């Protein structure tokens, strides 16, 4: 018996059960199938304009910057503006997301690189699965379309999220994940990112970029 089996055996013994009881197994299977939601905070609720307003306020409170553009096609120009205003190089790395790849990057002076980051990239662009209004959080899934290395290695992380993908709460974000990928098809990693990387471990002094990007810029596209 390994350690895991020993722990479960002790739990079953203390409860006076074997784990094979039909009623107990039925309850477990029902709960997994129905996935009942717990208490959901009210803060992120409302119609789409209200969710976007809350998302923007919460993201900025976490020291991210947020810009709204009329359409996805306007995202490259906004990325170029952000990098120019930040005195950053006009170089961008992104994954193979077809929505990003189809944008008019050639209309800007940016040099585009594709694939995961090896840690030497200053700027990266990702496409979010969802924005969560409740806390101004981005839901970012792993894969060739949006490599996880882009979320953490470059100094500047720029994330594009569609207006329609801004949801009220975490429960809605997980529901969206299930609806997009289906049962058993979810990506290996879901990263929930709120603001740029930071730490206050040393003398309670806030340091940006401690474990990831120093800047997080969010482009909300119509």
pLDDT digits (tens, 9 = 90+) for 158-167: 999 999 999 9
Q: DSSP 3-state assignment of 195?
A: coil
Q: What is the pLDDT of residues 21-66, one digit of tens each?
A: 999 999 989 988 887 778 899 999 999 999 999 999 999 999 999 9
Give pLDDT < 50 ranges for the chain: none
CB 193 within 8 A of CB 132: no
- Please tell me the predicted confidence (pLDDT) of residue 60: 97
**CA atoms of 104 and 76, how far apart (whole Å):** 7
pLDDT of amino acid 144: 96
Q: Which two tokens stand for residue 145?
A: 């379309």
Quick check: 37 and 31 in contact, CB under 8 A? Answer: no
Residue 38 is predicted with a pLDDT of 83
Q: How many residues does the chain have?
A: 222
β-pair type (111-114, 91-94): parallel
Please name each of the domains of the chain with its CATH number.
3-34 (no CATH), 48-221 (3.40.50.10420)
């Amino acid at each position: 018996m390994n350690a895991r089996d020993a722990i479960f055996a002790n739990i079953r013994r203390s409860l006076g059960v074997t784990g094979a009881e039909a009623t107990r197994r039925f309850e477990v299977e029902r709960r997994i199938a129905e996935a009942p939601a717990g208490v959901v905070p009210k803060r992120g609720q409302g119609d789409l304009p209200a969710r976007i307003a809350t998302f923007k306020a919460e993201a900025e409170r976490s020291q991210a910057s947020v810009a709204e553009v009329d359409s996805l096609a306007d995202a490259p120009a906004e990325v170029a503006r952000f990098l120019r205003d930040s005195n950053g190089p006009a170089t961008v790395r992104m994954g193979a997301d077809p929505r990003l790849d189809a944008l008019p990057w050639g209309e800007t002076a940016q040099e585009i690189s594709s694939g995961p980051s090896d840690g030497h990239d200053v700027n990266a662009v990702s496409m979010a699965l969802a924005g969560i209004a409740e806390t101004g959080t981005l839901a970012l899934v792993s894969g060739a379309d949006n490599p996880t290395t882009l979320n953490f290695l470059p100094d500047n992380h720029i994330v594009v999220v569609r207006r329609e993908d801004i949801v009220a709460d975490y429960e809605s974000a997980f529901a969206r994940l299930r609806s997009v990928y289906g049962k058993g098809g979810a990506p290996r990693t879901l990263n929930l990112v709120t603001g740029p990387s930071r730490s206050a471990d040393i003398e309670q002094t806030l340091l940006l970029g401690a474990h990831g990007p120093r800047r997080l810029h969010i482009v909300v596209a119509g």
